[in-house]
Amino acid sequence: MDEIKQPLLIKKGAEAHLFLAEWHNKIVILKRRLPKKYRVAALDDQIKTYRTIHESRLMHEAKKAGVPTPTIFFVDVKNSTIIMEFIKGKQLKQLCNEVSEKKRIQLFREVGRLIGKLHKYGIVHGDLTTSNMIQASDGKIFFVDFGLSEKTRELEARGVDLHLMKRALQSTHFRYAEKCFDAIIEGYSNVLGAGEVRNVLDKIREIESRGRYIAERRR
Amino acid sequence: MEKGKTRDGYCLGIESTADDFSVGIATFKGEILANVISAYIPPEGGIHPREASRHHAEVASKVLEEAFRKACIKPRDLAVIAFSQGPGLGPCLRTGAAVARALASYLHVPLVGVNHCVAHIEIGKLKAGAKDPVTLYVSGGNTIVAAFDAGRYRVFGETLDIALGNCLDVFAREAGLKQKPGEPFGAIVEKLAKSGKRLVPLPYAVRGMDMSFSGLLTAAIKALQKGDYKLEDLCYSLQETAFSMVVEVTERALAHTEKKEVLLTGGVAANRRLQEMVRFIAEEHNAKFCTVPSEYAIDNGAMIAWTGVLAFTHGITTPIEKSYVRLKWRLEEVEVPWMK
């Protein structure tokens, strides 16, 4: 860890801080999970350790699924820190407000394809939001923040994953949330096929109806 | 008052979504003149909706009378009647709605159907002096993290299954604890948790911005039945795990929205440990920690009366034929024109 030079805090997240730093003559991102004052130490250690190991492992595995993620260089469990590749680009959260509708649909179709690849491989991201997707300068979309990911093929987990994506769109881009989600489903079906998409859409509907206080629930 | 409304007046609010029947009286200026609450405590088990509604019908006139007496006003002084239209338990909601309709038509004043969750946020803002907070609303029936955006209170995170308060209550019942008037299950669990020291590993289930408590409850009950752990340690672990989950989600909503206030409300808001945890994240994000006196944090008529005032003074009334109860009325379905 001594090789880290000039760490510069670039993002104060709710869970972790991201630093831009130099490490072995490379510009890297340091993701450090912070101790949470509100949690008792035992629970805090348990959560930080679990998420640090898990995140690095699944971020690496996502590459095998064909989903671009920052390359992991070093995992320091004791300090709950991951050292990873720095992706230069723009968050989709920002980008999708700046592009034309046509471009936006294309972007989200690609997002859907990537989610499809992840799910097909057996990973659910767990926190699909437009803040956790970065378009690099070469156009590739990188998925970041695998802190809540899980390895599972369960339909339920995949449904929840997509349901969360939908919810995230509704809360941050509610003006065009529906169209974007349709584009995601289109991309998703390109990878998993129409049959699987029907299953997952049914599941999403079921999850939503199971949700609290939905008027349609009784139908 | 708001533009175009110079008239002052009184609003009576009826709350009956679950086990409490309550009547509150508020002035249009936001003074709470009365807030009378009658709680139904089941002899055993959880709340049976029909039995709770029977209690509400029995105490309704007594609670109304007491509210008028406390407020020192007469029924004909009222300008508007508000009632909690949902979400909640059908029979309980219907009892309150029937009382509200009867009063409104007898007195020839308008009726306003109020969303229970909106009311919790509004009374919290009024009593804690908050303007635009991230709200953590935790009770026996709801677990919601919400914040205002574009005309409505948006739900940032919520439970995917049971409410946090429900999780604590069922655990307490399974452990053979008994609640008393003035000492609900939550308070008993809190007291036991204080002498707990050992953290029993329990499932921590935050999924994106949503939370799940049913697995946590099952695991805690299984650990209890195994008999390997002290009840104090289990209460402590259950609280620490469940509270950490809601606080984590609240912190994320705070970081995301960059709001400058955090409001903690609902029945579980009375828990000191939870208050402490929410205070930590408020400090961390330079936000003001706001909490509400217990009588305004639990289900209460005053919150319905005050939200009725806000709605009525912004031109919202509910015609009797549209005053049917809405069991699954979501927070984000409600427009809140009084927020800009």
- Clarify whether residues B273 and B232 are in a common domain: yes
Helix (H, G, I), strand (E, B) or coil at B264: strand
State the pLDDT confidence band at B322, using cuts at 50, 70 and 90: very high
Closest-CA distance of chain B to residue A189, Å: 23
On whether both B184 and B220 belong to a single domain, the answer is: yes
Token pair for residue B339? 């927020």
pLDDT, tens digit only, all 219 positions of chain A: 557 777 899 987 778 999 999 999 999 999 999 999 999 999 999 999 999 999 999 999 999 999 999 999 999 999 999 999 999 999 999 998 899 999 999 999 999 999 999 999 999 998 899 999 999 999 999 999 998 888 999 998 999 899 989 988 988 877 889 999 999 999 999 999 999 999 999 999 888 876 544 444 333
CB B190 within 8 A of CB B196: no
* DSSP characters over B195-209: T----------EETT
B67 assigned to some structural domain: yes
Residue in chain B closest to A217 (alpha carbons) equals B328
List C-alpha distances in Å: A24 to A6, B118, B308: 12, 54, 63
Q: Is B74 helix (H, G, I), strand (E, B) or coil?
A: coil
Residues B207, A14: C-beta atoms closer than 8 Å: no
Residues 6+ apart with CB under 8 A from A99: A107
Percent of chain B having pLDDT more than 90? 89
Question: B111 and B190 share a domain?
Answer: no
Report if residue B90 sits inside a domain: yes
Q: How many domains does chain B have?
A: 2
Asked if A14 and B251 come within 8 Å (Cβ–Cβ), the reply is yes
Residue with the bigger pLDDT between B6 and A82: it is A82
As a whole number of angstroms, the distance between CA B35 and CA B198 comes to: 41
Co-location of B50 and B161 in the same domain: no
Q: What is the pLDDT of residues A91-119, one digit of tens each?
A: 999 998 899 999 999 999 999 999 999 99
Asked if A76 contacts A132 with a C-beta cutoff of 8 angstroms, the reply is no
Taking contacts as CB-CB distances below 8 angstroms, the residues of chain A near B212 are: none
Q: Which residue has the tokens 């390895």?
A: A151
Strands B152-158 and B143-149, bridge-based pairing: antiparallel
What does DSSP say about strands B10-15 and B78-86: parallel, antiparallel, or unpaired?
parallel
Tell whether B160 and B213 lie within a shared domain. yes
Same domain, B247 and B106: no
User: Domains in chain A, ordered, with CATH?
Assistant: 4-85 (3.30.200.20), 89-218 (1.10.510.10)
Distances in whole angstroms, Cα of residue B305 to Cα of each of B119, B144, B164 = 9, 22, 26
Q: Are B61 and B72 in contact (CB under 8 A)?
A: no
Q: Tell me the C-alpha distance between B182 and B15, whole Å.
A: 19
Statement to judge: residues B290 and B302 lie in one domain = no
3-state secondary structure of B324: coil
Distance CA A24, CA A18 (A): 18
Is residue B178 within 8 Å of residue B43, measured between CB atoms?
no
Q: What is the mean pLDDT of chain B?
A: 94
Measured CA distances, B315 to A5, B12, B80, B310, B328 (Å): 61, 17, 12, 9, 24
Residues B269 and B143 reside in one and the same domain: yes
- Evaluate if residue B117 carries a pLDDT over 80: yes
- Is there a domain that residue B289 lies in? yes
* Distance of alpha carbon B159 from alpha carbon A27, whole angstroms: 40
Q: Is residue B260 part of a domain?
A: yes
Same domain, B74 and B158: no
B5 within a domain of the structure (yes/no) = no
Tokens of B240: 């620490």
- Residues B87 and B114 occupy one common structural domain: yes
Q: Comparing C-alpha atoms, which of B26, B16, B6, B2 is closest to residue B309?
A: B26
Choosing from A44, A127, A145, A182, which is the catalytic residue?
Answer: A127
Kindly determine whether residue B199 and residue A43, on different chains, have CB atoms separated by under 8 Å. Answer: yes
Residue B340: inside a domain, yes or no? no
Q: Is B174 on the interface with A (CB under 8 A)?
A: no
Assess B176–A contact: CB distance below 8 Å, yes or no. Answer: no
Residue B338 lies in a domain: no
Local structure of residue B295 (DSSP, 8 states): H
Is B113 found in the same domain as B56? yes
CATH of the domain at B14: 3.30.420.40
Q: Which of A50, A124, A172, A213 to mutate to test the interface with B (most CBs of B within 10 A)?
A: A213
Please tell me whether residues B83 and B94 are part of one structural domain: yes
B2 within domain boundaries = no
A161 is annotated as an active-site residue: no
**ipTM computed for the complex:** 0.83
B330 inside 8 A of chain A by CB:
yes
**Structural domain span for residue B112:** 10-121+297-333
Q: For residues A134 and A91, give the distance between their C-alpha atoms in angstroms, rounded to a whole number.
A: 4
